[in-house]
Structure 1
Amino acid sequence: MNGPLIVQSDKTLLLEVDHELAEACRRAIAPFAELERAPEHMHTYRVTPLGLWNARAAGHDAEQVVDALVEYARYPVPHALLVDIAETMARYGRLSLSKHPTHGLVLTSTDRPVLEEVLRSKKIQPLVGERIDPDSVAVHPSERGQIKQVLLKLGWPAEDLAGYVDGEAHRIELAEDGWSLRPYQQQAVEGFWHGGSGVVVLPCGAGKTLVGAGAMAKAQATTLILVTNTVSARQWKHELVRRTSLTEDEIGEYSGTRKEIRPVTIATYQVITTKRKGVYPHLELFDSRDWGLVVYDEVHLLPAPVFKFTADLQARRRLGLTATLVREDGRESDVFSLIGPKRFDAPWKEIENQGYIAPADCVEVRVSLTDSERLAYATAEPEEKYRFCATTDSKRRVTEALVRRHAGEQTLVIGQYIDQLDELGEHIGAPVIKGDTTNAQREKLFDAFRAGELTCLVVSKVANFSIDLPEATVAIQVSGTFGSRQEEAQRLGRVLRPKADGHEARFYSVVARDTIDQDFAAHRQRFLAEQGYAYRIVDSVDLLAPGPEGGGSAGGGGSAGGAEKPDGV
């Protein structure tokens, strides 16, 4: 036994990155284990009940999980852990929701004591009705989502077999003019449709919109699509008109500027969660038509009020699309119970190897602060420390030098703080897209970038999600939302669209050495490390030194020490 994996009784898995079988092992454990830490040589994964239940819902059984651990383990796998994995996975499906010909929605158990146990929960009692027989109990139809949430928290996740209403029929066909779904996109559609509802996880740039279109063609029904912003809504509309039989008149936009309800309606999370006098007036959009399918783009960003309404939509087919199921608020269990389990997950490197996304060189550029900056950082208030080290003058000069180094290449400079971005835009002569940039101006600048009329854009977090810029080859991240793993993945995704010339993408993260910025960077990189991306860590002095690999002196002047504030979308 000389495998790459050390399996420990506390449910942690240690993967030796440099082992020849490390990549095969990573693929084998990915369906059920979550990466926790990813330093250079040994990555730490954890086996959790939610991970095991996701694997179970996706068709993996305990035997497959155990075989993966035993096959790649360096030492004997603790027997107690194997027993615990088998018993945890066996909890999924002992309770199921189904339709009864006379009693409607019922909760049934294949293990009567489990049903007795959950029925004694004070949180379950208001959700159920009469006892039908020793193994089943009626459930109030309106509580289909809520009871799944509660059962998951009780440790007995229910398999939802109650089926779905067809919704209002509407013809939607995939266009046949020179394109078809890629094999993995077809697998994703089939996996979702077979399961009825759930989440498809695909890398940025791998065509999640087309998976949505494929699901709509399967459903042949009215569809509500929820997206992150208006630019994304219009990109969805453009793609659907181009790739399906839908016409512009059949697709409505429900946003801050338009309130169109059509057979296919694309709404923004922002307008749906707008609150007036303590209520959410636009949530009635969910009831405005007999939707046959609800699509949640970037489902990892699903706002809390939409979770509540999603609990009421359990009779509708629901498709979540995302590049990462990581939620920094820890509500992955709500996505599991209310949208559905993970139905398809394609590793980023696998899609890259097939040529559908660009290979990427990830570089963490470490910047040494000046003595005066270090002193100012050391004496800053705790809540101001990240803002200060993320926006120092030293980082700005390095960023400007990186932009000069890649002059002529399609480059995005991405950050969190408005004043920092405004200053960078002024110094490098590039337009800035931020929260108060109008949608018309955003689209104009994005179009100029796509056409090559602009080679550099400075963008705030408004460009983190669902912005299709296939020409971008370089991304330079100067600041972010603290240690957000999903933001890191989305930002790398801005440059992963395949290049016409097969060009490699470059992703730079400019980090202040010996500060909280460096700690946050390590946390941000965890998800991408799980996907097989390795960050090269280089010193800014070495990277930018004159010579074949360098781009000249960093130079520059000015100050980034003003009162920066995070951007709003």
Structure 2
Amino acid sequence: MTDLSLAEFYDAVEAEGRPLLTAGQFARRVDSSQADADEALARLAADGLLERVDVETDPVVWYPTEWGELASRERVVVFPERREIVVDRPTQYTQARLSQFAHLVDTTGTEPGTRGYLYRIRPEDVWSAPFDGVADLILSMRGVFPRRYEGLEEWVESQWKRANRFRLYTHEDGYVVLAAATDDLLGNVAMEKLDEDAIRAPISDTEAWVNEDAVAGIKRALYEAGYPVVDERDLESGDPIDADLTTDLREYQQSWVDSFLEKQAGVLVGPPGSGKTVAALGALTEVGGETLILVPSRELAGQWREEIERHTTVDPENVGEYHGGRKELRPITIATYQIAGMDRHRKLFDERQWGLIVFDEAHHVPAPVFRQSAALQSKHRLGLTATPVRESDDETDIYTLIGPPLGTDWSALFDAGFVAEPEVELRYLPWDDDMAENEWANADGRERHVLAGTNPRKVEEIERLLDEHDGKALVFVDYLDQGDAVADAIDAAFVSGETPHHRRERLFESFRTGDREALVVSRVGDEGIDLPNAELAVVASGLGGSRRQGAQRAGRTMRPVGRAEVVVLATHGTSEEEFARRQMRHLAEKGVRVHETVVGSADAAEEAAGKDTDGEGADNEATGEADDETDDQVGDDPSVE
């Protein structure tokens, strides 16, 4: 048995589900004696193919020599029974392909440049995969995996079929019917999982008359049971409107529109700057019916009105805004989620026959205050978001309440030059002095987090970054005192929640037009604010926030042309390091390259400068970090804005 090969060792590793094997484990997997396995492992080690590690309290373990060389190249290891994929040093291509059918769970390793990705294929990943058929999905998997895995492919096929086992349709007499592929599915799945008031009466062995008000609950319950529902109801198309698009759509935008029109419902997931709003206007003109656009803020309502005027022939008199400042119900109405979800206003929206409802920043939809507005139904429902991920892990609600995900690989947009791929750097800074570090070390809980976030060294680093970069820059902060300090240091305005609405708009407009080169922005700039052509974004604090927040901030530089750079500042040796990696996880999953730099102390930098070096640590690729949320956040801190 001493002729056992390295390939057999890899097979044993995958079968065992561990990266290291003892001789006993190897012997069991290859059906040999331990003595023969020991001899084979020793031969492979002598040939330089395996390495061994002697552990005092455990047996000797073996691993492939080339795994120690993974810092310079990619390797994909598949564990088919667990439906997991581990990728060390994944290329942008591999990350983009995996994101089509797998979920990024975690990253491994502790040192910059040594981390790898852990992906898992869940049923919902298969159901929402952007392919016309399961054959295309499996071909994409084979293009990434080192070899075929028949059992995994069979499971994927079975999950794909589950996505079409239930459908909702409108009976010729006008009521809504839930149809199942078999009587067993209707009786043992639907009837068992749905609330009592969801079903009005059975019609046949495979069909039931359902309560139209319970449709959202039906979709959710069956989705959670493993059966996403195909919604084919004949919903209202709305009164026709006269609207043509005056802007030519890019090829990928047109594919978004075509896919949406075919499915009639879906969530467009694309990076900031890729033109989701223009694509939505293309869908609006194609649908040609009265349209309700839901947004999270007044600022976005105003921006949508401007975009409609800029890109379509719609008469401005037919466009209205409905929120705390204005109450205009028109053929095209732009309303805030909060207003649309209130009972006294919702009746007005219910009475209107909308041909299209657009859910902008659709990641808000699962939140209770926004969910009420999501119950509004129309024949066409379109969600827009760059970041569907939610820390509460209820992002699947987005797809059950609106529709399946639509979109193009982010990497495809980068490669085609439609969106400037940002250069993302996680920069770890030392403390300004020993006194500051000691204060942090003696603090605990929230106070520690605040001290790390407001490390004075960050102000110096921001000044240096802005001196080195030409063009517009945004600096994001979470603390009011820090925002004031940074604004004073770089001679810029600070926009926070305390900034009056009219002044906020003037500052944003002056930044858009180029009259201002820099702005310091609190959380009010995290999403929904149109701040184009920011060549540099610096995240100074707020690293305890969500992954979505991190992606939104980084996305402020993702525009069609020009250089785009994001620098995330974190205090070295504190929890900010892990928070920073976690916040960038969503971008890394979408194929954006993320690098890490450890900056030396001030004394070391001076000494390095004298030696004609840059005083910084090596630049390494990073991957983001685990997506588990911590309780040590800053949302309730009165100094947070």
Corresponding residue number in structure 1 for 2:67:
none
Change (3 A) 1:108 1:219: same
2:372 aligned partner: 308
Q: Residue 85 of structure 2 corresponds to which residue in structure 1?
A: 13
1:43 alignment counterpart:
117
Alpha-carbon displacement from aligned partner over 1:149-191 (angstroms, at most 9, x marks no partner): 111122222111223211122222112xxx3011111111111
1:367 aligns with 2:441: no
Whole-Å Cα distance in 2 between the matches of residues 401 and 271 of structure 1? 44
- Give, in whole Å, the separation in 2 of the partners of 1:314 and 1:385: 47
Query: After superposition, where does 1:144-543 map in structure 2 within 5 Å?
Result: 144-175=215-246, 179-272=247-340, 281-287=344-350, 289-302=352-365, 303-311=367-375, 313-342=376-405, 344-369=406-431, 370-406=433-469, 408-480=470-542, 482-499=544-561, 503-541=562-600
Letter in 1 for 2:385: T
Unaligned runs of 5+ in 2: 1-6, 11-73, 617-635
Matched residues in 2 for 1:301 and 1:441: separation?
A: 26
Q: Is the 8 A contact 2:84 2:120 kept in 1?
A: yes
Instruction: Quote the Cα distance in structure 2 between the aligned partners of 1:103 and 1:172.
Output: 30
Distance in 2 between residues matched to 1:237 and 1:120, nearest whole Å = 45
* Equivalent residues of 1:495, 1:506 under 8 A apart: yes
Q: What are the residue-to-residue correspondences of 1:101-140 with 2, within 5 Å?
A: 101-102=172-173, 104-121=175-192, 123-140=194-211
State the Cα deviation string for residues 237-280 of structure 1 (Å, max 9, x = none): 1111011011322211222221222111112235446xxxxx65
Matching residue's letter, 1:262: R
The separation in 1 between residues aligned to 2:287 and 2:400, in whole angstroms, is: 21
TM-fit CA distance, 1:92: 1.1
The alignment partner of 2:245 has SS state of coil
Residue 556 of structure 1 is matched in structure 2 by none
Partner secondary structure for residue 567 of structure 2: strand
Residue aligning to 2:103: 34
Matched residue type, 1:36? V
Given that residues 340 and 349 in structure 2 are in contact (C-alpha distance below 8 angstroms), is that contact kept between their aligned partners in structure 1? no
Helix, strand or coil: the match of 1:494? helix
* 1:289 Cα offset (Å): 2.4
Letter aligned with residue 126 of structure 1: D
**Structure 1 equivalent of residue 126 of structure 2:** 52
Whichever residue aligns with residue 587 of structure 2, its letter is L
Tell me which moved more, 470-479 or 383-392: 383-392
Is the CA contact (8 Å cut-off) linking 1:385 and 1:516 kept in structure 2? Answer: no
Q: The residue matched to 1:473 in structure 2 has which SS?
A: strand
Amino acid at match of 1:518: E
**Are the equivalent residues in 2 in contact too, given 1:145–1:314 (CA < 8 A)?**
no
SS of 1:508 mapped into structure 2:
strand
Equivalent position amino acid for 2:581 in 1: A
| Cα deviation code 1:4-31 (max 9, x no counterpart) | 432212222112335xxx4444343322
Q: 1:229 to 1:120 in 2, by over 3 A?
A: closer
Contact 1:418/1:564 (<8 A) preserved = no
Bigger radius of gyration among the two: 2
8 Å CA contact 2:96–2:410 kept in 1: the answer is no
Identity %: 31
Distance 2:559 2:199 in 1: 48
Deviation of 1:508 after TM superposition, in Å, equals 0.5
The letter for the 1-side match of 2:145 is A
Measure how far apart 1:314 and its partner are. Answer: 3.5
Which amino acid is the alignment partner of residue 457 of structure 2? S
8 Å CA contact 1:206–1:357 kept in 2: the answer is yes
Q: How many residues align?
A: 538
State the Cα distance separating 1:192 from its structure 2 match: 0.9
One-letter identity of the residue aligned with 1:112: D
CA distance in 1, matches of 2:544, 2:351: 38
Letter aligned with residue 201 of structure 1: V
Matching residue within 53, 66, 72 for 2:138: 66
> Does the 8 Å CA contact 1:228/1:465 hold for their aligned counterparts?
no
Partners of 1:255 and 1:268 within 8 A in 2: yes
**Between 199-208 and 366-375, the greater mean CA deviation after superposition:** 366-375
- Structure 2 counterpart of 1:519, which letter? E
Task: Kindly indicate whether structure 1 or structure 2 has the higher relative contact order, using CA contacts under 8 Å at least 6 residues apart.
Answer: 1
CA deviation map 1:358-414 (0-9, x unaligned): 2322111111123333332233232333222111222233223323333x5211101
| Equivalent-residue separation in structure 2 for 1:124 and 1:105 (angstroms) | 16
Q: 1:168 to 1:238 in 2, by over 3 A?
A: same
CA distance in 2, matches of 1:565, 1:153: 38
2:176 maps to a residue whose letter is L
Report the alpha carbon displacement of residue 298 of structure 1 after superposing the two structures with TM.
1.0
Q: 1:317: how far off? A: 1.7
Equivalent-residue separation in structure 1 for 2:325 and 2:243 (angstroms): 26
Distance 2:96 2:518 in 1: 36
Pair 459,483 (structure 1): closer, same or farther in 2 beyond 3 Å: closer
SS at match of 2:554: helix
**C-alpha RMSD of matched pairs (Å):** 2.7
Q: Is the 8 A contact 1:219 1:293 kept in 2?
A: yes
Q: Which runs of 5+ in 1 are unaligned?
A: 274-278, 553-562
CA–CA distance in 2 between the matches of 1:104 and 1:281?
A: 26
Aligned equivalents of 2:190 and 2:145: distance in 1? 41
Q: 3-state DSSP class of the match of 2:208?
A: strand
Higher mean displacement: 427-436 or 381-390: 381-390
Measured in 2, the distance between the counterparts of 1:549 and 1:363 equals: 19
Residues 376 and 360 (structure 1), Cα distance of their counterparts in 2 relative to 1, 3 Å cut = same
Q: Assess, with a 3 A threshold, how the Cα gap between structure 1 residues 288 and 109 changes in structure 2: closer, same or farther.
A: closer
The alpha carbon displacement at 1:550 in A equals 6.3
SS in 1 for 2:330: coil
Which whole-Å CA distance do the structure 2 matches of 1:432 and 1:285 have between them? 39
Does residue 142 (structure 1) correspond to residue 213 (structure 2)? The answer is: yes
**Structure 1 residues 243-252 or 30-39, which shifts more?**
30-39
Find the residue that maps to 1:399 and give its secondary structure: helix
In 2, the alpha carbon distance for the partners of 1:282 and 1:389 equals 44
Partners of 1:104 and 1:204 in 2: CA distance: 40
